[in-house]
């Protein structure tokens, strides 16, 4: 499949799911009423549900899934391994730690402080992972390092939970760590959106370097690639995307593995060419998962991060078992 046809198909699927998400929910709204409410006509109740609740939630789901998937595809291109992903390498945990520190102890802070703290945590852990990757040269060691880093951050999170000043703060931190796009507003998107756009632009500008790295670092350097610059660009871009996604939805793991894994065969296994299609696929998957959660007949809505882990973890295990000779 050509890149243009692939992007067209993914765009059509994204638009179809977005429209479907406006119709379906705990209170179904007919397509005609939903379209009317979307464009400012119809009843005030329909307009409130469509414009203030369902539309921002759906767009948040797409942007979060797309950001995490593109960050995963970029890290896989840099490290040349399909197991690399913000959650597995501890980057998502670092972003959650930054955000929850602000939630727990930053009383009366400006609203943009949580996204900034999440991005700072993501950038810090991404830089640490990149530095370790240069030194160890071993994929299995790097994955173990990421798991150990996540465990350390998990212990710090437990400490923060035990020191939470109020029950409300405790509940907010737990809700954040589980991951959800419910009750997200346009304000959340206006804050995180520019950071997502900046991270995506940075990674897309470096996509040729990811393709060159498939031939090995020596050949890539011989072709004119500045390896340090490529690593720095990947750290900044993936950190911005992951931090912004966490600031909107909290902890959602494994989408950075699943989406690139689906797209890779369709792009000729070229990491650079996979960035944008993987992002769109990640957005589609998260919209679909969130839509499923909204219509399932449970008394309380399941958390998106829990469902993403239930789906993504088996895929991670399958990819790990299929890869032989990881050293």
**Longest CA–CA separation in the chain, Å:** 64
Domains and CATH numbers, the chain: 3-11+34-322 (1.10.3470.10)
Q: Which two tokens stand for residue 67?
A: 């950001």
70 close to 275: Cβ distance less than 8 angstroms:
yes
What is the distance between the terminal CA atoms of the chain, rounded to a whole angstrom? 33
Burial class (CB in 10 A: 0-12, 13-18, 19+), 257: buried
One digit per residue, the tens of pLDDT, for the chain of length 327 reads 677 899 999 999 999 999 898 888 777 788 888 888 888 887 888 888 899 889 999 999 999 999 999 999 999 998 888 888 888 888 888 988 888 888 787 655 566 677 888 888 888 888 888 888 777 766 677 778 888 998 999 899 888 888 877 777 777 777 777 888 888 889 889 988 998 999 999 999 999 999 999 888 888 888 888 888 888 888 889 989 998 998 899 888 889 999 999 999 999 889 999 999 999 999 999 999 888 888 776 656 667 877 787 777 787 778 777 765 444
Give pLDDT, residue 191: 86
Closest C-alpha to 86, from 135, 119, 134: 119
What torsion, rounded to 10 degrees, do the Cα atoms 300, 306, 308, 309 define?
-160
**CA trace torsion 105, 192, 81, 276 (10° rounding):** 170
- The secondary structure of 58-105 as a DSSP string is HHHHHHHHHHHHHHHHHHHHHHT-TT--TTTTTHHHHHHHHHHHHHHH
Query: Secondary structure of the chain: what % helix, strand, coil (to 5)?
Result: 75, 0, 25
pLDDT of residue 324: 53
Predicted local confidence at residue 134, as pLDDT = 75
Sign of dihedral through CA atoms 58, 61, 67, 70? negative
Q: Rounded to whole angstroms, how far apart are CA atoms 70 and 242?
A: 9
Separation CA 281–CA 256 (nearest Å) = 10
DSSP state of 27: S
- DSSP helix/strand/coil, 203: helix
Q: Give the Cα separation of 57 and 260 in Å (integer).
A: 23
Taking CA 125 as the corner, what is the angle to CA 122 and CA 126, rounded to the nearest 5 degrees? Answer: 80
CA geometry: angle at 278 spanning 20 and 147, to 5°? Answer: 110
The pTM (predicted TM-score) of the whole model is 0.89
Quote the tokens at residue 316: 């991670």
- For residue 207, give both structure tokens: 């996509």
């Amino acid at each position: 499949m050509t890149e243009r046809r692939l992007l067209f198909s993914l765009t059509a699927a994204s638009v179809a799911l977005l429209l479907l998400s406006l119709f379906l929910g705990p209170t179904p709204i007919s397509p005609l009423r939903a379209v009317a409410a979307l464009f400012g006509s119809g009843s005030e109740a329909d307009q409130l549900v469509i414009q203030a609740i369902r539309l921002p939630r759906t767009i948040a789901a797409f942007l979060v899934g797309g950001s995490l998937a593109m960050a995963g595809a970029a890290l896989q291109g840099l490290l040349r391994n399909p197991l690399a992903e913000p959650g597995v390498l501890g980057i998502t945990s670092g972003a959650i730690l930054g955000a929850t520190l602000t939630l727990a102890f930053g009383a009366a802070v400006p609203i943009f402080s949580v996204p900034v703290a999440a991005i700072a945590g993501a950038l810090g852990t991404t830089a640490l992972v990149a530095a370790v990757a240069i030194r160890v040269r071993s994929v299995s060691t790097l994955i173990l390092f990421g798991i150990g880093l996540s465990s350390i951050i998990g212990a710090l999170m437990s400490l923060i939970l035990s020191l939470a000043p109020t029950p409300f703060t405790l509940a907010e931190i737990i809700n954040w760590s589980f991951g959800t796009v419910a009750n997200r507003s346009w304000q959340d998107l206006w804050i995180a959106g520019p950071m997502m756009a900046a991270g995506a632009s940075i990674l897309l500008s470096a996509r040729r370097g990811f393709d060159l790295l498939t031939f090995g670092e020596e050949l890539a350097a011989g072709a004119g690639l500045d390896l340090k610059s490529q690593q720095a660009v990947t750290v900044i871009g993936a950190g911005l995307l992951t931090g912004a996604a966490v600031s909107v939805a909290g902890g959602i793991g494994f989408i950075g593995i699943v989406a690139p894994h689906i797209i890779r065969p369709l792009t000729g296994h070229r990491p650079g060419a996979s960035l944008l299609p993987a992002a769109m696929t990640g957005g589609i998957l998260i919209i679909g998962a969130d839509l499923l959660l909204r219509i399932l007949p449970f008394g309380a809505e399941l958390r998106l991060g829990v469902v993403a882990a239930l789906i993504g973890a088996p895929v991670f295990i399958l990819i790990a078992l299929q890869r032989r000779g990881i050293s």
